Amino acid sequence: MSAGEQGTEGELPERTEWIWHDGEIIPWDAAQLHVMSHVVHYGSSVFEGVRFYATPDGPAVFRLTDHVQRFINSARIYRMDLGQSLAQLSDGIRDVVKRNGLEEGYIRPVAFRGLGALGLHPGKSPVKTYIVCWPWGQYLGTDCLEQGVDVCVSSWNRPAPNTLPTLAKAGGNYVISQLMRLEAEANGYAEAIGLGTDGLVSEGSGQNLFLVSDGVLHTPTLNGSLLNGITRDCVLKLAAHLGIPTREEPIPRERLYVADELFFTGTASEITPIRSVDRIEVGGGVGPITKALQAEYLGIATGERPDLFNWLEPIHQPASEAAL
Ligand SMILES: Cc1ncc(COP(=O)(O)O)c(C=O)c1O
């Protein structure tokens, strides 16, 4: 099955056989939690979204260490003790992908507060960590990477700084994303762009955002309303490599309507072109800078282009060796 044919965002994940849980590999059906778990009531989880790609040298995880480090940072922000080191979590990711025999797909490390005290204070609720993987295709629908998607500006804002910490990838942050996503769908759009409470462009429900204007690439500053995306970082580095000037700056909404090119970035969404915002067409279809960055990004991820920044971490190499 090619990536384009695998399930997309709105579909059930294809069931795989094995899940990693706190150092052990357990069967899919054994990964259960109690309804009174703290996370069910209070959204106390942190997670990651990671992709691994089939390359000529076997499956490789894209920016594994950076994702695991962000997972650890998210847990740290929420004072959750994972009890697992970066090397142990990285090995866990490799193990679960190997055990399931997958060549490409998506990996979801998730840690949450389980069954303990019944009140809000999470102290007595043990932290449980799981790693799941499954085949996953193009996030915003088959062909979205080639055709682009139609999006709207959401009536929901992204969180204000000092409310939900947006540098943490925490389950609770995604209730806002769900509202954005559902509203977009109800109005016939594939995805929504959120503004910050300052009214400036922030990010999508699960993606960062870039625009191209007069040959310059612009993206919102990390101002406390958006996730510090790993794909965002890839695009900034690839743009520098390709000689495309970049600016991280505050972006007012109306610049979306007059941009030459617009695209989302994210592990799940990869580099997804945006072809209209609020039914206003962007540029003239998928633009040349979007295409060049997409080709470079996917070329590196699939091992077809040189891995200029050492972003690929092979499944069949233990983390301890990878660090040498
Ligand atoms: C809210 C949000 N913003 C941005 C991103 C993109 O981040 P990354 O490129 O690290 O996947 C994601 C996806 O993880 C996200 O959920």
pLDDT digits (tens, 9 = 90+) for 213-226: 999 999 999 999 99
Ligand 1 atom closest to residue 203's alpha carbon, by position in its atom list: 3
The protein residue whose alpha carbon is closest to atom 16 in ligand 1 is 206
Query: How many CA atoms are closer than 13 Å to the CA of 323, on its beta-carbon side?
Result: 10
Cβ atoms of 246 and 236 within 8 Å: the answer is yes
Which atom of ligand 1 sits closest to the CA of residue 208?
4
pLDDT score at 6: 53
Classify strands 261-266 and 246-248 as parallel, antiparallel or unpaired. Answer: unpaired
Q: How much distance in Å is there from the Cα of 229 to the middle of ligand 1?
A: 5
Rounded CA separation 168/113 (Å) = 16
Instruction: Domain 3-134: state its class.
Output: alpha beta
**Residues designated catalytic:** 169
- Give Cα 139 to chain centroid, integer Å: 10
- Evaluate: CB of 176 within 6 angstroms of ligand 1: no
Distance of CA 157 from the midpoint of ligand 1 (Å): 16
pTM assigned to the model: 0.94
Cβ of 267 closer than 6 Å to ligand 1, yes or no, is yes
- % of the chain surpassing 70 pLDDT: 93
Single-letter code of the amino acid located at 76: R
Name the region of 270 (left: φ>0; alpha: ψ -120 to 50; beta: rest): left
- Does the C-beta of 207 come closer than 6 Å to ligand 1? yes
Task: Spell out the residues 6+ positions from residue 246 whose beta carbon is closer than 8 angstroms to its own.
Answer: 216, 217, 218, 219, 236, 239, 240
Q: What is the pLDDT of residues 147-176, one digit of tens each?
A: 999 999 999 999 999 999 999 999 999 999
Per-domain residue ranges for the chain?
3-134, 144-301
Tell me which architecture the domain covering 144-301 has in CATH.
Alpha-Beta Barrel (3.20)
CB of 193 closer than 6 angstroms to any ligand 1 atom: no
Q: Which range (2-16, 108-122, 273-287) has the least confidence? A: 2-16
Beta-carbon count within 10 A of 246 CB: 16
Q: Does ligand 1 lie within 6 Å of residue 231's CB atom?
A: yes
CA of 247 to the centre of ligand 1 (A): 19
49 CA distance to ligand 1 centroid (A)?
8
What are the structure tokens assigned to 255, written together?
């610049």
